[in-house]
């Protein structure tokens, strides 16, 4: 799944998911992300360990703390899986270029 960082509120990123819905993602999971970045969330061989789940969130071991990630963006992860969150540089740049083009067309 890909989410887009809309804004930061304290130590959490507010990310847009499909259909204009938003979720909060702990900043400890994406410390280098900025507003507008596209974040790929994947289950795989590397990443943060899923250590618990309660039906609404999966809890990841992140930098010595337990961080909650909404189940809706976890890709169906369960205890024992690993989840990676990475900035998709190409998609982020493509998105910025599309937005810039739209803005330019408004003022031509």
Say how many residues make up the chain.
108
**CA 63 to CA 48: how far, in whole Å?**
9
Q: Report pLDDT for 76.
A: 87
Q: pLDDT tens digit string along 49-91?
A: 999 999 899 999 877 778 889 988 988 899 999 999 999 999 9
Which residue from 72, 100, 77 is spatially nearest to 108, judged by alpha carbons?
Answer: 100
Q: Report pLDDT for 4.
A: 94
Q: How far apart are the first and last CA of the chain?
A: 35
Global pTM reads: 0.84
Q: Report pLDDT for 63.
A: 72
Which residue from 99, 31, 91 is spatially nearest to 65, judged by alpha carbons?
Answer: 31
Write the Ramachandran bin of 106: left for phi over 0, alpha for psi from -120 to 50, otherwise beta: alpha
Contact 66, 51 (CB under 8 A): yes
pLDDT at 41 over 90: yes
**pLDDT band, residue 93 (cuts 50/70/90):** very high
Q: 3-state DSSP call for residue 102?
A: helix
Structure tokens given for 37: 């970045």
């Amino acid at each position: 799944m890909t989410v887009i960082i809309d804004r930061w509120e304290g130590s959490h990123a507010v990310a847009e998911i499909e259909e204009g819905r938003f979720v909060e993602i702990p900043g400890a999971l994406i410390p280098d992300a900025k507003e507008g970045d596209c974040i790929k969330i994947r289950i795989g061989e590397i990443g943060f360990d899923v250590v618990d789940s309660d039906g609404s969130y999966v809890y990841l071991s992140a930098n010595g703390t337990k961080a909650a990630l909404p189940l809706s963006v976890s890709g169906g992860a369960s205890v024992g899986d690993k989840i990676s969150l990475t900035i998709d540089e190409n998609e982020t740049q493509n998105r910025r270029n599309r937005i810039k083009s739209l803005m330019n067309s408004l003022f031509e």
